[in-house]
Structure 1
Amino acid sequence: MTGAWPLLRQLSLPEWRAHPWRHAVALLAVALGVALAFSVHLINGSALSEFSAAVRAANGEPDLSLRCAVREGCADTLLDAVAAADGVSLATPVVEVDTYAFAAPGPGAAGAAPARIALQVLGIDALQIAAVAPALLPRAADGQPRTAFLDPDRIFLNPAAQQRLGAKPGDALRLQRGLGTFTLQVAGSVAAGGGPLAVIDIAGAQQHFGLMGKLTRIDLRLSAGVSSAQLLQRLALPPELTAAAADDAAQKVSSLSRAYRVNLTVLALVALFVGGFLVFSVLALSVAQRTPVFALLGVLGLGAAERRRLVLLECLLVGVAGSLVGLVMGTGMAQLALRWLAGDLGGGYFPGVAPALAFSWPAAAAFGSLGIVAAMAGGWVPARQAAALAPAQALKGLGGTTGPAPSRWRPVLLLGAGALLALLPPLGGLPLAAYASVAALLLGGIACVPLAVNALLALLHPRRSALLLLAVERARHESATATVAVAGVVASLSLAVALTVMVSSFREGVSQWLDSVLPADLYARTAASSATADQAFLPPAFVEAAAAVPGVARVQGLRVRPISLSPDQPSVSLIARPLDQPAQQLPMVEPPRPLVAGEIGAYVSEAMVTLYGAEPGSQLRLPIGAASGVEVRVLGVWRDYARQFGAVAIDQADYRRLTGDTRINDLALWLQPEAAVDTVQAALRALAPDPALIEFAVPAQIRAMSLAIFDRSFAVTRYLQALAIGIGLFGIAASFSAQVLARRREFGLLAHLGFTRRQVIGVVAGEGAAWTAAGALVGLALGLLVSVVLVHVVNPQSFHWTMEMVLPWGRLAALCAAVLAAGSVTAAVSARAAASGDAVLAVKEDW
């Protein structure tokens, strides 16, 4: 490369100064791809790091944690048995509760209803907590008793809770339980980071949250020389307790959010992929413009290797500059996203986390390298063209290279490899083989372009028009060049088609699912998430009173609670509801099996089949009821687009018989025909001690809000589609510009033979129409193939749910028609300048 530097200064820099916008566009394309991918990585990495730090602060650093298998907690008498075990140096109990607290109204908000803020409350033994979790040690504020941490009516807030709730020491803080509230006094602070968190004496947590005689976990410090494995061998754990590492929660979120993060990164890298085609187009045009110079230098002794190194050095400079700009842009985009989106990016994996930017030099090096690789890959074909230049022919303006005949086996092998890769299972929980399948399909589709051009032109036999005959024969003769000209169109159109089909299929699936799960006229709830469902609930008395409200025909309650089925997986949602007709009450994938007398039936979501192997007919142990749990028979599988980690639905009567839990989290109400929704809502609010604790929604509102969230989540795909199509069209414009520049003497000869300027432009436009039509057909077919992989392979392997494929033919036809029209017009515009010169002078250049 060093030997090419003087040539770069002599040959390339003047051309760059003459046409700076071309290389600036290529550089910007690389920068944009790097910026999108790097910003996504920084956002997710920062959020995950902050979330992990918050979990470590809340959990502390015990040698081992023993967690209760059931969410209601287990008897605190287990603490004495564990503390007395050989090898245990310290055992400290903890009660974990998720509820809501009410923020103080801000300045100028007098009379406004206080906002409800989700709050995690930890009941601890403050005399022992410093040994395992110093960040949870309560610090009494000035003016508070030194023993305030032992008062069951005093609470200590971390910085996030203080900020969100606007609470300071001495203030009264209202917390929710059921449809009622109680008040605690803020007595100080704790140093734990993360989302809003509060610490209270364990006796106060048991008293205020209905957990008398219960605890949810026991944190252990082990004696010197004793490992966790050794202790577990000595200690026969009762079925109520399961062993867990301190950072299990962070690891669960990391592993389950990994598919989401990887898919976002791959989607962002689409911009880098199409950016490589833009680099190719710009370099191909640049090489074509300098063909006479390359040819003259070739005659004078400049070898093919030097010409190839020169073009590759240009690509390297574009890649390095674009990557550096992209890394700066990506860092800024990540900083803005973390400030405005709090690191969540719509995935819901890091609720309540407001992370600071965590810059990563290794990641910057990796994504910068990807930008350089994309630029070098984009310039490889122009570099080979410069190397394969035939100097004598190029000096005569007859084209400098003769492309090889299109291979018939290469596209078959690539497409076959793509099909085989799509059949492989996920690797490490990620659809890596499916991503490779998409890449193989794209490359195979691009390799099909010359064959598609030949097949299309074989159908055309213009015998009456010499002009059309010349255009068709010229296009047929240069079919190998068509790959260079419309490769960007094929790649960008196929990606646009695939994303359009995927998003349309997903949106239609969500829409049909919402129709199935929202049969009632009105819905009421007090808990906005399953995490707070145990403390923010609708009591049985409220449900009974709601059924008697005038205008209400019938009500149906639904209990949702998280349960843990595996220590290395996030919690699963257990849904208890009336299921006398499951085929009509749940969106079943296939008809359910009949219930066998004496067994308890359960219906699982698709994620349960993937994550836990809960096939219909199998048995599943649920940690409810007895200490050892209860066995249920899986009778069917249903679609659930709301809970990625799995859901289990059982009949409400079975659930209440097993657990005695009569709480309700969501209430569905069917109204009488003449009833007014507003009147019924007002009557229901009057039944609650605090009307602000109840939220109401009608199906149309839930549906509109859900689809609006969906559209916002997939808005990035629209930008990527527009970017891909724009780059593809720019690529075909640059490719045809390169073609006509290399053929300017040919056009001069045609003009000398009597062809008018309009006829010459028509010949090139005809070639462009033929090539673009072939590219559009290949791009459409290829996009449909890729969409099959996205819908039926990538999506189930990443998120564990399925959907029916929907083909929006109107939008797909509009995409293809726009590409065809734009390709023909750009070809004609490109030929306009080349055909505008004097014919005699153009032919004279040949001598």
Structure 2
Amino acid sequence: MRPMWTLLRTFSWQELRHHPWRSAAAVVAVMLGVALAFAVQLINSSALDEFAQAVRSVNGQPDLEVRAMQGALDEALYTPLATHPQVRQASPVLELTAMTRSASGGTATPLRVLGADALVLPGMAPALMPRPWDGSQRFALFEPATVFLNAAAFQALGLPTQAAQPAPTLVLQAGSQSHVVRVAGSVAAGGSALAVMDLGAAQDLFGRGGALSRIDLRLQPGTDRSAFAQALRSQPWWPAHAMAVQPGDVAERISLLSRAYRVNLTVLALVALFTGAFLVFSVLALSVAQRAPQFALLAVLGATPGQRLALVLLESGLLGLAGSVAGIALGTLLAQAALHLLGGDLGGGYFAGVQPALRWSTATALLYGSLGLVAALAGGWWPARNAQALPPAQTLKGLGQAASAPNRATAGLALLAAAALLALAPPIAGVPIAAYVSVGLLLVGGMALLPWAVALLLRLLHPLAASRALPLLALERARRMRGSAAIAIGGVVASLSLAVALTVMVASFRGSVMQWLDAVLPAPLYLRSSLQAAGGDAALLPATLAQDVARLSGVQRVEPLRASPVQLDPARPALTLLARPLGSDPAQRLPLVDAALPVPPGRMGIYISEAVVDLYGLQPGMDWPALSRSFRAPGQDGQAQDALFFIAGVWRDYARQSGAVALDLADYERLTGDARPSDLALWPQPGADSATLRQAIEALLPPGTADGAPRLELVSADAIRARSLRIFDRSFAVTYWLQAVAIGIGLFGVAASFGAQVLARRKEFGLLAHLGLTRRQILAVVAGEGAAWTGVGAAAGLLLGLAVSVVLVHVVNPQSFHWTMDMRVPLGRLLALCAAVVLAGTVTAWVAGRAAAGRDAVLAVKEDW
């Protein structure tokens, strides 16, 4: 037994030594697939871990957080919570956002401002405890207009981290008001730029007396958090718009929000690994076909069918192992470079501003290394089966069918039928797993039908080539060797079909976004605060600004718009409440999916985005009591305001994946009493100058800071469209790179397979030269074969890609991101892509033919004498 295994190992080593480029092609394919998938996973996990650490650092470790569904909490809620017998400690927090710059000037920076009670911080959130500088007043942490910064804020503002004389000052701008504060020390909390100050001082400074953002609770030992939160809702003093949430829900909501983007990126990265598995199949199938006489000789010498099977699987395993090890190393380098250059964002916008460090995971590395090994073994399974089933006697006599592939029409059709059924299945835990499997079955089924389709095509072409020698020669060889040709172009079909599908999906998405932007941006100009980066109340405009702007010369019409978050479910990201004038025909203001329903008397009509339909299980014609409760903050008379919302329609919204609700602005102002808009839509008079108009509007604001920085942004709808499309293209930049890698792997496989096949035909070319064919004619035959086969592969890849794109556009995208879009086929771009593939295949075959059709080809005929 040992001598036989020694012989088998020598046999495999000789194959790797004599065909290094062919083996290298498979190793590189597996390496790239593993590297991309592993890098995406490392980047995503590092960003999530960094974000979760920042949340824990700022929020501490309370047992529960009490928040309002929207707006602020009344400070009066603190007393019954703090004195509750099951509450050990309660910490009130006021959280605001502001834009800041040092008093000496510099770039404006978004700053998160936390007002907290320093007496309870050590036990609740020690990382937020102010640390006064040496020489500061003993009670500096309680002084008005005094803040303590974290390391990110010091770095962003370029301030010294040690005590300085005089103490550095900052200008905080929130809304139309500016405030000068003194820096008196630091805090240990990580994350983005942060300032901590005394709660009462923050309320006084920003005019938020009696308001809280949240109340953190530490419960008595043994208290069940879920039961306590449920009991709070039954207390008579509990506001209807308040909710008690677990502290980890914030990070979990971000993880849930970004999950679809992360999963799709990972799947796209695994596409390269799938293409690599098929390239391993192509390389080993060609290798087994060319070594059929040697396998037959090994069988005669005593190698069992099982040993021949194990030999080919061993070769594929070695290729997969080498590719996986190299892929883990390359993926680590790619992840490190991406985190350094791009942060953890990857274009999706979920972790903007987070600069995570690489968190390398041995378990993750082993997982993706195993995936590369499994992919290689899967690619080598059918070639190994062919080597196992090879008939020794017939093969030694030259009667074997080493190069042909069995007709798998039945299996291919069955796979396509299964793919169609899986495309109809619902998502699992919010992830379109069945749809991804459907895409995989479509690809495998389409490639399984490839030999059958090639045979059918050859039968149709035979009458056309019967009267011409060279085409007939190429056609007859293709007919007899259709299996090896189908194997060679399989990589093209796999990679091109995925590239076509992604191109159609991105084009459909981009076209739908452009159409949506036209619908939601009806005005020529839009006015907003320059503090949009800070968000929250800091970015709101004065309540009377819309009326004041409407009276200016050069303004024809003004519409105020308001966007505010509302948290209905602690397990889901916050919804966005959009209040805008809807008029009598909401279809003119919103891109409705279907016609709006009439609103019953005594109800308020609202219009939900497609994401709300999927996430909350709502449909037009239903009431939404949970949203009504979010508006039931106690009024001045102590009575709760009633809001009976009726869902009158569904609209498309590509800006908010977590869902949005649109309602009439008059209804929103009546329910909340808050008339401050987020944006103003402006229709200027013909010929009005935008810069002059912005200056006139700026003069309507209260006096600001002396640095002269503009407090308003006036942008055109065209500029907003251009910026939105840039964000869109940035979000899909990684997709384009993954698509290019998949195409590159496919073309690399075609070059390796065609090159090996052509170089193996030296005897055939020598015989043709002896029969009178010139070198030019031989090269024409070879190039024609390359063009024909890559043309067939391009056609098959195009058709299969269009089928896959239907699943991506109509199944994967709605199930992942909860919005629909219209399918658009960029025919010119797809044809150019197919033409590039055909050209690459033709050039590859011609170059390989030149090397094989030289003088050595004539001499190679003597090998049979």
Q: Which TM-score tier does this pair reach, normalised by the shorter chain? A: over 0.9
1:92–1:219: 8 Å Cα contact kept in structure 2?
Answer: yes
Match of 1:161 in 2: 153
2:488–2:753: 8 Å Cα contact kept in structure 1?
Answer: yes
Q: TM-score, normalised by structure 2?
A: 0.91
Moved more, 722-731 or 188-197: 722-731
Q: TM-score, normalised by structure 1?
A: 0.93
Shift, 1:719, TM fit: 2.9
CA distance, structure 1, for counterparts of residue 2 and residue 681 of structure 2? 74
CA distance, structure 2, for counterparts of residue 459 and residue 6 of structure 1? 49
CA distance, structure 2, for counterparts of residue 837 and residue 499 of structure 1? 46
Match of 1:656 in 2: 669
CA distance, structure 2, for counterparts of residue 626 and residue 618 of structure 1? 23
Shift, 1:739, TM fit: 3.7
Shift, 1:456, TM fit: 1.8
Moved more, 778-787 or 752-761: 752-761
CA distance, structure 2, for counterparts of residue 740 and residue 325 of structure 1? 30
Q: Deviations over 1:432-469 (max 9, x none)?
A: 11110000000011011122212222322133224333
Cα 1:123–1:12 change in 2 (3 A) is same
Match of 1:140 in 2: 132
1:464-543 equivalent positions in 2, closer than 5 A: 464-526=467-529, 529=532, 532-543=535-546
Match of 2:633 in 1: 626
1:434–1:789: 8 Å Cα contact kept in structure 2?
Answer: yes
Shift, 1:397, TM fit: 6.7
1:592 equivalenced with 2:559 (yes/no): no
Shift, 1:369, TM fit: 1.0
1:102 equivalenced with 2:101 (yes/no): yes
- Other structure's SS at 2:809 match: helix
CA distance, structure 1, for counterparts of residue 757 and residue 395 of structure 2? 13
Match of 2:809 in 1: 791
Cα 1:351–1:630 change in 2 (3 A) is farther
Match of 1:665 in 2: 678
- Other structure's SS at 2:548 match: helix
Shift, 1:752, TM fit: 4.7
Match of 1:43 in 2: 43
Which amino acid counterpart does residue 663 of structure 2 have in structure 1? I
CA distance, structure 1, for counterparts of residue 809 and residue 4 of structure 2? 47
Q: Deviations over 1:223-264 (max 9, x none)?
A: 233222443455434224211111110111112211111111
Q: Deviations over 1:1-40 (max 9, x none)?
A: 9988744763444554555444334322222221111111
1:134-213 equivalent positions in 2, closer than 5 A: 134-168=126-160, 170-213=167-210
2:532–2:539: 8 Å Cα contact kept in structure 1?
Answer: no
The CA RMSD over aligned residues, in Å, is: 2.7
1:364-375 equivalent positions in 2, closer than 5 A: 364-375=365-376
- Other structure's SS at 1:507 match: helix
Q: Deviations over 1:312-334 (max 9, x none)?
A: 32322222222222212211221
1:7–1:310: 8 Å Cα contact kept in structure 2?
Answer: no
1:90 equivalenced with 2:89 (yes/no): yes
CA distance, structure 2, for counterparts of residue 837 and residue 400 of structure 1? 30
Which amino acid counterpart does residue 574 of structure 2 have in structure 1? S
CA distance, structure 2, for counterparts of residue 572 and residue 11 of structure 1? 64
Match of 1:685 in 2: 698
Quick one: which of 549, 552, 556 aligns to 2:552? 549
1:453–1:770: 8 Å Cα contact kept in structure 2?
Answer: no
2:587–2:595: 8 Å Cα contact kept in structure 1?
Answer: yes
Match of 1:429 in 2: 430
- Other structure's SS at 1:575 match: strand
Number of matched pairs: 839
CA distance, structure 1, for counterparts of residue 145 and residue 230 of structure 2? 40
CA distance, structure 2, for counterparts of residue 532 and residue 724 of structure 1? 40
- Other structure's SS at 2:644 match: strand
2:103–2:171: 8 Å Cα contact kept in structure 1?
Answer: no
CA distance, structure 1, for counterparts of residue 767 and residue 401 of structure 2? 17
Cα 1:320–1:328 change in 2 (3 A) is same
Match of 1:459 in 2: 460
Shift, 1:88, TM fit: 1.9
- Other structure's SS at 1:550 match: coil
Percent identity reads 57
Q: Deviations over 1:732-779 (max 9, x none)?
A: 333334444555545555555555555554555454444333322221
Cα 1:337–1:728 change in 2 (3 A) is closer
Shift, 1:715, TM fit: 2.4
- Other structure's SS at 2:178 match: strand
2:66–2:242: 8 Å Cα contact kept in structure 1?
Answer: yes
Shift, 1:389, TM fit: 4.8
Quick one: which of 602, 619, 626 aligns to 2:606? 602
- Other structure's SS at 1:425 match: coil
2:94–2:115: 8 Å Cα contact kept in structure 1?
Answer: yes
Which amino acid counterpart does residue 738 of structure 2 have in structure 1? L
CA distance, structure 1, for counterparts of residue 546 and residue 228 of structure 2? 47
CA distance, structure 1, for counterparts of residue 654 and residue 673 of structure 2? 29
Match of 1:276 in 2: 277
Shift, 1:391, TM fit: 5.4
Shift, 1:516, TM fit: 1.8
Shift, 1:421, TM fit: 0.8
Moved more, 783-792 or 3-12: 3-12
1:228 equivalenced with 2:190 (yes/no): no
Match of 1:701 in 2: 719
1:776 equivalenced with 2:794 (yes/no): yes
Match of 2:117 in 1: 125
- Other structure's SS at 1:724 match: helix
Moved more, 808-817 or 410-419: 808-817
Which amino acid counterpart does residue 712 of structure 2 have in structure 1? I
- Other structure's SS at 2:699 match: helix
- Other structure's SS at 2:544 match: helix
Q: Deviations over 1:184-233 (max 9, x none)?
A: 21121211111122211111222223321122222222223322244345
CA distance, structure 1, for counterparts of residue 312 and residue 817 of structure 2? 43
Moved more, 397-406 or 568-577: 397-406
CA distance, structure 2, for counterparts of residue 230 and residue 241 of structure 1? 16
1:222-371 equivalent positions in 2, closer than 5 A: 222-232=219-229, 234-235=231-232, 236-237=234-235, 238=238, 239-284=240-285, 286-287=287-288, 293-371=294-372
Q: Deviations over 1:365-389 (max 9, x none)?
A: 1111112222223333443444455
2:31–2:323: 8 Å Cα contact kept in structure 1?
Answer: yes
Match of 2:637 in 1: none
Cα 1:839–1:221 change in 2 (3 A) is closer
1:26 equivalenced with 2:26 (yes/no): yes
Moved more, 629-638 or 602-611: 629-638
Cα 1:325–1:194 change in 2 (3 A) is same
CA distance, structure 2, for counterparts of residue 768 and residue 387 of structure 1? 30
- Other structure's SS at 1:435 match: helix
Shift, 1:100, TM fit: 2.2
CA distance, structure 1, for counterparts of residue 151 and residue 836 of structure 2? 55
Moved more, 602-611 or 224-233: 224-233
2:46–2:344: 8 Å Cα contact kept in structure 1?
Answer: yes
Shift, 1:610, TM fit: 0.9
CA distance, structure 1, for counterparts of residue 519 and residue 7 of structure 2? 68
1:285–1:734: 8 Å Cα contact kept in structure 2?
Answer: no
Q: Which runs of 5+ in 2 are unaligned?
A: 635-639
